[in-house]
Amino acid sequence: MIAVNPIGALVAAAIVFAVVATLWWMLHPPISKVQEIARDAETELERMVGSIIVVFSENIASQHMMALAAKLAKGERSELLAIYVVSVPYSLPPDAEMTDEERRALDALGAAQAIAAKADISLRTETVKARSTKQAVLDIAKRERANLIVLGSFREGKYTGAPLSRTIEEIAAEAKCDVIIGVEGKHGNLLADQVGFEQIEQGEKAP
Amino acid sequence: MPDQHQPELKRSVTPWGSFSWGYSDVGADIFVGLGLVLGAAAGASNVAFLFAGIVYVCIGLAYTELAATYPVAGGGQYFVMRGLGDFLGFIAGWAVLLDFTIDVTLFAWSCVDYLSEVVPVLLNPIHPWVHFIAVFGLIAGLCLLNVLGVRESTTFNGVVSALDVISETSILFFGFLFAFRPELLVHTMTTQWPSTFNLMLGASYAIISFVGLESISQAAQETQRPASIIPRTSIALILTILIYALAYSNLALGMVPWHQVPLDAMGHAQTLWQWLGNNDNNGKAVALLAKDVPYFGALAALYVPILGAILLLISSNSGVFGSSRIAYAMANAKLLPSIFQRVHRRFRTPAISIIAFCAIAVVELIFAAWPSLDPGAAAFYAKFFHGEGGIGFLGDLYAFGAATSYSFVFLALIALRMNDPLSPRKFRIPLNIPLTYKGERVLFPVIGVLGFIGILSILVFTIITHDLGRIAGPAWLILGFIIFVIYRRNKGLPVFGSAPHDWRHEQIGILRDAGELELMDEYLARLKEREPARIAEVG
């Protein structure tokens, strides 16, 4: 039978405590200013991207932004919803058939599904008919409790330097969550993507 | 500092990675050191470890301050070159190279000793040729792997280190809990106190249980935020190893073994520590001690020899790539011929360096194994070297190389405090005397002086007590000196002076590359305060 000596037991406990405490202290160094900024940004990103809505419409081509949102969603395990807003003019009833526009919605959301599949994330899609694109986006954002709206953009005058579309500006101004807008810069190439998208819409092969 | 046109090392080593780089080197030392110290210092083994441990703490603090201030690859050699000039930088680097080559042989040797616990045919006293061939095979294998560019990953090091920390802590915990008797420790210390000569011998062996802190500095250039992380990992490593060394030595002297200790070669009864410290067992003392811990020993007997062998093999490998790495850094600093910088076209590894230093390791192996392979050599060693050989010979050289390079590192610490007070020190050794030197307010490190005296005394102990070490160690330095003189003369560089260096410009680059931007700002602000014109030029 082995007898435990009290001094031996004390030393044994002290060794374990000293080793564990030393290693714990080592593994918890103070963070630098740069790391603090990075940590805050990461926390903010986690908050931002809990639920993401990607917006498409006749004028808003968001394929490139969809690819970006897919990458964000994959990294942060966000919920992702792609919507296509079919704008119904006041001259037609709210549930009027918009064959061409609905066909374009199928293409856009199909492409969004393909991007999501490639990124190995799940995506919900929805086509919405509305009088106002802005209001439809804001309503869905509210319903989904979205943290982030992602959308492409276009300029009113279709030339670099023109103001952004009013719809885009209003969404950004009135949304209760963060908004990321893909805007082409002076030497940017977002429009090039948009051209490709238009070609897809027109049933042509993308270059 | 890396050349602007060469790819820089990626900073991917985390705090645990940095710790395990050091641990896989230093952590293995106790596997070798414990038996040697018990054999030499007997009942004062814990005192020998305590003395060496205090010196080691000073060394550790010096390395921590220097590696955090100058986070570049090169370690001790770089600090000494920067503080004391090219010639002494070369001597320190050459002594470190000796340690790395010994590292290869000593740990490969001990690895085979640990494996012999599970594969008895490897037992050195019974099958010396098999043991020799196995150690030679390990060295040749590691050489080949390193030439081909296969290295163990930081992750693998990290996992083995974690397992070993858990294992060693468990051995000590259960050992002290179930088998430690304080009265036995006191009895052993009072009745088995060694002669002064043996105590000095023990202290000089004890220092080898603490060699390898260099590895953390070597990896400084790959460590994330080195100025902040390295002080933590170094201090944690110092404390962990110190706890283990002191605990193992006290446990070995005061432990009641679970099993009967075998009789000695003459058929006399012997105590546990005598059995662990004899020539047949001193290469695998930790495995034997673990086996004799009540209850836990049954489990430890199964895995400690294997885990010990893996850790020792990693340590041996760190000697192979450490020597080629430091030779590369020395060639880069024009302290060694550029042949050591040459990279193999196909494998992209410094093949010449690797093969050269592995060949030296094999020569050391031959000297160590000779007496056990040839009775004539055994008689020669017995007559001229007190029968020293085997692991004792390797331990001699290891202690000599470490004590020499560490002595210069202390001097470099003092010199850099005096001559480079402007470099921000994220970690500063405590206990300093404020002085004014060349118009600058400097802090003179008292611990640097105490540490220097401590390590110098260990160097003296080594020279006094090691018959082979006092010949082979200085012979190594003389060989290096000849190579250095020939090389520097051929290159038209001063032998005892230094080639021109722009340290301030280099320091800004070091801090920027290390990602220590706040420290870089601090350094620039200090320079600007003193030399506005100069900083405009550097900036």
Distance CA B468, CA B439 (A): 48
Specify if A32 maps to a domain.
no
Chain A closest-CA separation from residue B87 CA (Å): 36
What mean pLDDT is reported for chain A?
A: 82
Q: Looking at residue B511, what is its pLDDT?
A: 85
Specify if A3 maps to a domain.
no
- Probe site for chain A from B172, B177, B181, B223 (most A CB atoms < 10 A): B177
CA atoms within 13 A on the CB side of B72: 26
Which chain B residue has its CA at the smallest distance from A13's CA? B173
Q: Looking at residue A202, what is its pLDDT?
A: 47
Specify if A30 maps to a domain.
no
> DSSP for B15-34?
HHHHHHHHHHHHTTHHHHHH
Tell me the torsion sign for CA atoms B518, B523, B529, B534. negative
A92 reaches B (C-beta below 8 A): no
CB pair distance less than 8 Å for A8 and B182:
yes
Q: Looking at residue A72, what is its pLDDT?
A: 85
Q: Looking at residue B465, what is its pLDDT?
A: 84
Domain boundaries of chain B, sorted by first residue: 15-501, 503-539
The stretches in chain B having pLDDT less than 70 are 1-12, 150-154, 218-222, 385-390, 532-539
CB pair distance less than 8 Å for B15 and A29:
yes
Task: Give the pair of three-digit tokens for residue B101.
Answer: 């080559």
CB pair distance less than 8 Å for A19 and B177:
no
- Decide: A49 and A147 in contact? Cβ < 8 Å: yes
CB pair distance less than 8 Å for A15 and B172:
yes
Q: Looking at residue A195, what is its pLDDT?
A: 43
From B176, B174, B177, select the one nearest B166 (Cα to Cα). Answer: B174
Give me the tens of pLDDT residue by residue for chain A, a chain 207 residues long: 677 899 999 999 999 999 999 999 999 888 777 778 888 888 877 777 788 999 998 888 788 889 989 988 887 778 899 999 998 888 888 788 888 888 889 989 999 999 999 888 889 999 999 988 999 999 999 998 998 999 887 766 655 566 677 888 889 999 999 999 887 666 655 544 444 444 444 444 333
Domains in chain A, number? 1
DSSP B119: -
Amino acid letter, residue B487: Y
DSSP A164: B
Specify if A171 maps to a domain.
yes
Q: B17 to chain A: which residues are within 8 Å by CB?
A: none
Residue of B180, B228, B295 lying closest to A8 (CB–CB): B180
Amino acid letter, residue A117: A
Distance CA B349, CA B149 (A): 6
Phi, psi of A83, rounded to the nearest 5 degrees:
-120, 145
Task: Give the pair of three-digit tokens for residue B87.
Answer: 């010639």
Expressed as residue numbers, the domain containing A94 is 39-201
Q: B165 to chain A: which residues are within 8 Å by CB?
A: 19, 23
From B535, B525, B510, select the one nearest B68 (Cα to Cα). Answer: B510
Specify if A178 maps to a domain.
yes
B509 reaches A (C-beta below 8 A): no
Going by their DSSP bridges, the two strands B440-445 and A124-130 should be labelled as unpaired
From B354, B102, B135, select the one nearest B212 (Cα to Cα). Answer: B102
Specify if A177 maps to a domain.
yes
Chain A closest-CA separation from residue B161 CA (Å): 12
Count other Cβ atoms within 10 Å, centred on residue B377.
15
Residues 6+ positions from B482 with CB-CB distance below 8 Å: none
Distance CA A203, CA B265 (A): 93
- Name the strand (E) or helix (H) holding A181: strand A178-182
Count other Cβ atoms within 10 Å, centred on residue B305.
24
HEC string of B404-452 equals HHHHHHHHHHHHHHHHCCCCCCCCCCCCEEEEEECCEEEEEEHHHHHHH
Distance CA B434, CA A27 (A): 33
Q: Which pTM value belongs to this model?
A: 0.74
B18 reaches A (C-beta below 8 A): no
Contact map slice: A 28-57 vs B, CB within 8 A: 29-30, 32-35
Q: Looking at residue B279, what is its pLDDT?
A: 81
- Decide: B236 and B21 in contact? Cβ < 8 Å: no
A12 reaches B (C-beta below 8 A): yes
Task: State which fold the B15-501 domain adopts.
Answer: Amino acid/polyamine transporter I (1.20.1740)
Residue of B175, B225, B236 lying closest to A25 (CB–CB): B236
Specify if A16 maps to a domain.
no
Specify if A25 maps to a domain.
no
Check if the interface score ipTM surpasses 0.85: no
Q: Looking at residue B445, what is its pLDDT?
A: 94
Which chain A residue has its CA at the smallest distance from B180's CA? A8
- Decide: B286 and B248 in contact? Cβ < 8 Å: yes
